Amino acid sequence: MVSDLGDTASDLLQDGGNAVSEIGDSVSDAVSDSDNNLNTPANATAQVPLGDVSGYSTVAQGWGQGKNVDGENRPEACLQYQQKYGELGGVFLGADEPVMTLTFDEGYENGYTAQILDTLKEKQVSAVFFCTLDYIDGNPELVQRMIDEGHVVANHSASHASTPTLTAEEVAQEIQEVHQVVQEEFGYTMTLFRNPEGSFCERDLAIAQALGYESVFWSFAYVDWVVDDQPDPAESLTRLVEAVHPGAIYLLHPVSSTNAAILGDFIDQARAQGYEFTSEITPLET
């Protein structure tokens, strides 16, 4: 783990954490100016000045897709949040097309990631893997395999802390530290961030956006992370298939033996419904 961010986190947040001044060597105008030349996901450096984020709400939002769906089986909460937070780089749902994205949250290794990668390779599906710093440090060979096999390796924070409980400086450091390690050790630039536990506030989205990141949430998830109480594979497969919808972003945990077992069948059944898979998420236009 990199403990010293050096030039990438200097003079952050003056006046009690309300005004971010510098990250790295660059200084420019505030984030509140919509005409600023901020980083973009195509050119993320995680080293731009954040500007003044004090105007953004720090009220915590706990994300979950809910049960209510529209006529296309899309969670209504995703539609509402995409409209509300899309301008801050929040991504809750993909474009209104028969395309979906598989995302995997990697906090620790439980022995199933290699099997999941095998299945994705067999099915020729590219996915997104959101990795914490501990996971990256402990499993460099799996991270390298993700990159080599065309998957997107994404940022799930350094410590998996709930970002609304942190200062703005700490949120920036959570993103920067992982970004820097992956750049230095793998020569790979991350552009997607997922808030731990799905907990976020407007300020967190603004910080991630200023660092060149989109904040990706999900439109489907289920309780799959309790390793000693795994859901029934047949029931889980049915649940995953019945939830399919245009622009779906599935959150799955690789610690799950159930997910590893049913992944191939799910891909086949989703394709039978006319869906394709992509790791390039195009946010729904609202």
Has residue 229 been placed in a domain?
yes
- Across the chain, what does the average pLDDT equal? 87
Question: Rounded mean pLDDT of 142-167?
Answer: 98
What domain range includes position 89? 6-277
Q: Is 70 a catalytic residue?
A: no
Question: Rounded mean pLDDT of 19-28?
Answer: 31
pLDDT attached to residue 52: 80
- Looking at per-residue pLDDT, the higher value among 47 and 187 belongs to 187
Has residue 286 been placed in a domain?
no
Residue 13 predicted with pLDDT over 50: no
Has residue 284 been placed in a domain?
no
Contact 259, 222 (CB under 8 A): no
- How confident is residue 48, by pLDDT bands cut at 50, 70 and 90? low
Has residue 134 been placed in a domain?
yes
pLDDT attached to residue 38: 45
Whole-number Å distance between alpha carbons of 4 and 100: 38
Residue 40 predicted with pLDDT over 70: no
* CATH, residue 68: 3.20.20.370
Has residue 283 been placed in a domain?
no
Which residue in 156, 160, 179, 253 is the catalytic one?
253
Q: Is 253 a catalytic residue?
A: yes
Residue 228 predicted with pLDDT over 90: yes
Which residue in 52, 105, 204, 224 is the catalytic one?
105
Residue 245 predicted with pLDDT over 90: yes
Has residue 23 been placed in a domain?
yes
Has residue 265 been placed in a domain?
yes
pLDDT attached to residue 41: 54
Residue 23 predicted with pLDDT over 70: no
Question: Rounded mean pLDDT of 263-277?
Answer: 99
Domain count, the chain: 1
Q: Mapped to the 3 state alphabet, what secondary structure does the chain carry?
A: CCCCCHHHHCCCCECCCCECCCECCECCCCCCCCCCCCCCHHHCCCCCCCCCCCCCCCCCEECCCCCCECCCCCEHHHHHHHHHHHHHCEECCECCCCEEEEEEEECCCCCCHHHHHHHHHHHCCCCEEEECHHHHHHCHHHHHHHHHCCCEEEECCCCCCCHHHCCHHHHHHHHHHHHHHHHHHHCCCCCEECCHHHEECHHHHHHHHHCCCEEECCCECCCCCCCCCCCCHHHHHHHHHHCCCCCEEEEECCCCHHHHHHHHHHHHHHHHCCCEECCCCCECCC
Portion of the chain with pLDDT greater than 90, in percent: 81
Tokens of 233: 């594979």
Query: Looking at the whole model, is its pTM more than 0.75?
Result: yes
Contact 223, 253 (CB under 8 A): no
- How confident is residue 45, by pLDDT bands cut at 50, 70 and 90? low
Residue 20 predicted with pLDDT over 70: no
**pLDDT digit string (tens) for 120-153?**
999 999 999 999 999 999 999 999 999 999 999 9
Has residue 1 been placed in a domain?
no
